[in-house]
A and B are shown apart, each in its own frame.
Chain A
Amino acid sequence: MSARAVILRVAALLLLVAFVTAPQLFAFAFAPLTANDAPAIYNQGSLLALTLSHVRIVVLATLASTVLAVTLGIFVTRPGGREFLPLSRSLVNIGQTFPPIAVLAIAVPLVGFGEKPTFIALFLYGLLPIFENTLAGLTDVSPRTLEAARGMGMNARQRLWQVELPLALPVILAGIRLSVIISLGTATIGSTVAAKGLGEVIIAGLQSNNVAFILQGGLVVALLAVLIHDGLGLAERATARRLGRPVDEIA
């Protein structure tokens, strides 16, 4: 990583932290966007608390999706679950044509307003990329490597833990990263169903016609997403480098 890239990342992180902890320092930049003496900085709650609860729900939902998706991915690639493999591939394809907002909207009447429908939507939608990538990673392991593992007397569990999962890890991580990014966006929309999150700032701005709110909400969410995406990308590349296959920069 070049020195410039490191500086850029650190600067972006510092900017984000500074803004959510002491937003009033930046009031001068947003003031020109307001009219009729409206506040320039979001004042209906702490940005820091909103950011933390936004990140919290994304992390919890992603953890839950990861556990289930990886377990299912392992199950359908074992001899006992092979019958489910073709269907699960098509289901993932079909599932991804559902817009996340639809999942969110349908969950509301079932479980009510608040964190719950958001969590359900994040969890369900987050399953898809992780499951898809777990399948891709596990089915991509070279048959030669598996033959060697079997020939050396590794049993099924040893092959899974010592060979298949480590080799599939970078691809699974890429799925998790994709899932996190989608969840960050869906959690923003979650504010329309009263989940605590950064979407509140944008929605408050839309309701009171305050462009300053809309912009600062948008910027914080965007910066958060870009930094998290980038950080997970670094982790992914580090594991992939060990395997001698640099991951696609764009993936």
Chain B
Amino acid sequence: MNTISSRTTAPGMHTLRPHLHLDRLGSVIAGLMGLALFASPFVTYRANRIVSGEGRMLFDALPPAGALITIAVVLGVALCAVLAHRPLVRLAAASLGLCVIFPAVGFSAGFVTPAGNGFARVSPAIGFWLLALAFALLAADALTRLRLGPWGRLVALSIAAGALTLLLLSGAWGDLSLMKEYANRADSFWREARQHLWLAFGSMLAACLVGLPLGLASHRVPALRAALLQGLSIVQTIPSIALFGILIAPLGFLAANVPLAAALGIRGIGAAPAFIALFLYSLLPVVANTMAGLCQVPADVIEAARGMGMSRRQRLVQIELPLALPVILAGIRIVLVQNLGLATIAALIGGGGFGTFVFQGIGQTAIDLVLLGAIPTVALSFAAAIILDAVIDLTRRGAHDRD
């Protein structure tokens, strides 16, 4: 016999060494902050709206005390980024940083602008944007690591939105060029905002009204499936201005020859082709995801429902649609984010929306005007993505509870 027994006492295999672990991502972020703080201008000063500007470093952009406080806070956050490991600490540090530099840049505008000068413009410069990027990266990383649930993410979004609203309402940014551009066209800003939302949400709703039944139909009729998906994916491939262009010709013809269409406000150029194009783009994600959602409902669940004597309609409403909901919503998320972005381009064909400011700004090389159009667009798509992701998580959770 050849038995070798073993012992349970193992030698001390692991000794705990005290060591300082430098966070690599944090070090990169801290490097970014250093670059922003000591090698880049914080704001740009221009004598008037059109001329090119000159950069002002942090020390020239703020009174000495303000500059010192800002530098101290940024260095503190950088230290946290490199040394702290707990995501909550890192998130708090990043938020503190953002809460300091955002008001600071507004304050700096007032400080840099000579008293009584109505033409001078002050804009955030590369240094500010780098700092904002660094803090945002730190916050995003911390939030990712925190693995917030859907409600947590919604709360985080509302806090961020609330803070931003507060900042804008407080007038702290009143002296910034961006807000001056806004003040000059406050009325048209809100008009274009409504138009933008109408284009994005209206076309999405229309796509849902048409796409859900289409998706259902092609789930039931396989013959329809291939043709429909292929056709829609070709549409999806066509670049937006090209599709606008292709639609302008027939719509113009319609407006010229059918009085009713003209009376309804359909014209070759304007919102109509943009709306229709956004609608067409939206169909593919809605149809494809409705189909995919219905396909992934487990066959045994449907079998069980049939066995219990549910009618076709009952199965659809009580079983299939609820189980397919998360996938369908994922399609709607794609549509919404895509439409909010694409609606910007509608301005090119006279369709209005935030793109109006972007294209005006490009025409006048006025970056602040571009930003006036671009920032709300980005903020809207960003918020829409977070909200819909959270909703998808919630419905998915519901679907699991039902399992």
Contact = CB atoms under 8 A, between A and B. Distances in A.
B86 interface: no
Contacts of B226: 249
Given A98-B381, A105-B358, A215-B246, A83 B24 contact: yes
Contacts of B25: 83-84, 87
B239 A99 contact: no
B248 A219 contact: no
Contacts of A202: 241-242, 244-245
A187 B355 CA distance: 17
Contacts of A188: 239-242
Interface string B171-201: 0000000000000000000000000000000
Those 4 A-B pairs whose CB atoms lie nearest each other, nearest first: A218-B245, A99-B341, A185-B239, A109-B367
A87 B241 contact: no
B157 to A, nearest CB: 12
Nearest to B142: A87
* Interface of A, helix, strand, loop or mixed by DSSP: helix
9 contacts: A90-B140, A100-B341, A109-B367, A188-B239, A189-B240, A206-B348, A217-B245, A219-B242, A249-B229
Contact of B141 (A86, A215, A226): A86
A110 B53 CA distance: 12
- Which interface residue of A109, A217, A229 has the most chain B CB atoms within 10 A? A109
Interface string B332-365: 0000010011101100110000010011011001
Assign chain B's interface to a size class: 35 or more
Given A97-B385, A98-B381, A222 B242 contact: yes
A167 interface: no
A226 B237 contact: yes
A238 interface: no
A221 B229 contact: no
B243 interface: yes
B362 A96 contact: no
A72 interface: no
Interface residues of A, number: 49
A105 B239 contact: no
A225 interface: yes
A101 B345 contact: yes
Nearest to A99: B341
A49 B223 CA distance: 42
A221 B239 contact: yes
Nearest to A217: B245
A105 B141 contact: no
A108 interface: yes
A211 interface: yes
B249 A215 contact: yes
Nearest to B269: A206
Interface string A212-251: 0011011101100110010000000000000000000110
Contacts of A211: 248-249, 252, 268
A205 B367 contact: no
Nearest to B368: A109
Contact of B382 (A83, A97, A206, A218): A97
Contact of A250 (B137, B288, B337): B288
Contacts of B395: none
Nearest to B357: A105
A93 interface: yes
Interface stretch (B3-11, B301-309, B371-379): B371-379
Contacts of B361: 105
